[in-house]
């Protein structure tokens, strides 16, 4: 009964965020205005199953930490904000910035001609207008291209994250992080057939640390 109550609470929490009034450039809300979530790997047949996503320390890119790191790094957390008149979300990060008029966001990074994106953080007033906010080593960044969907199997109360910047594709993990820190996570429009496609659940931080079943 306790497990069912926790799942029911999570379902209600996710619903409230997804059903909240949409945000426009004039009323983008600060991260503190909503509940925080993190990304948890859904890949029942892979060793990453149940592990959370972090910003890897050297590259500052989103990834899966090496299993040898103890204690584990806390996950990157965010508040999903649905953008006006779309099914897309911006993922607002907590903590603010040095400029009170700017907010940190999770963003996709890519080269101009590439259909592969990595993920990191930027600071901008509006996630729909991120010109000039990309890191120096990034040609293009996008903070307004995240969507959510109901996946197959797993916890029916949790949505999963997708990136809509290429009109299709999948997440894959590549063990190319410097200093053996782990796996960078990429969104590939044409997934590498050699690599496993993985999914990420959008989970309330109140459920951080729970034991994930091999569902």
**For residue 14, pLDDT beyond 50:** no
- Among 2.60.40, 2.80.10, 2.70.98, 2.40.30, name the CATH number for the domain at 2-24+48-207: 2.80.10
Taking residue 177's Cβ as centre, other Cβ atoms within 10 Å add up to 20
pTM of the full predicted structure?
0.84
Higher-confidence residue of 9 and 175: namely: 175
pLDDT tens, 80-137? 999 998 999 999 999 766 666 789 999 999 999 899 999 999 999 999 999 899 999 9
Structural domain boundaries of the chain? 2-24+48-207
pLDDT tens, position by position, 144-169: 999 999 999 999 999 999 999 998 99
- DSSP string over 44-57: TTSTTTTPBPEE-T
């Amino acid at each position: 009964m306790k497990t069912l109550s926790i799942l029911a609470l999570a379902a209600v929490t996710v619903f409230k965020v997804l059903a909240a009034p949409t945000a426009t450039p004039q009323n983008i809300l600060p991260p503190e205005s909503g509940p925080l979530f993190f990304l948890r790997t859904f890949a029942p047949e892979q060793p990453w199953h149940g592990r959370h996503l972090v910003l890897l320390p050297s590259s500052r890119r989103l990834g899966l930490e090496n299993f040898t790191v103890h204690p584990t790094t806390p996950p990157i957390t965010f508040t999903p904000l649905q953008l006006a008149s779309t099914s897309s979300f911006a993922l607002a990060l907590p903590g603010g910035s040095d400029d009170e008029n700017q907010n940190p966001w999770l963003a996709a990074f890519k080269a101009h001609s590439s259909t592969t994106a990595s993920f990191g953080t930027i600071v901008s007033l509006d996630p729909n207008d991120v010109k000039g906010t990309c890191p120096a080593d990034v040609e293009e960044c996008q903070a307004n291209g995240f969507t959510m969907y109901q996946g197959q199997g797993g916890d029916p109360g949790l949505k999963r994250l997708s990136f809509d910047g290429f009109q299709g594709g999948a997440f894959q993990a590549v063990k190319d992080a410097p200093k053996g820190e782990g796996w960078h996570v990429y969104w590939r429009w044409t997934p590498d057939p050699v690599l496993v496609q993985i999914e990420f659940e959008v989970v309330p931080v109140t459920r951080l640390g729970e034991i994930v079943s091999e569902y």
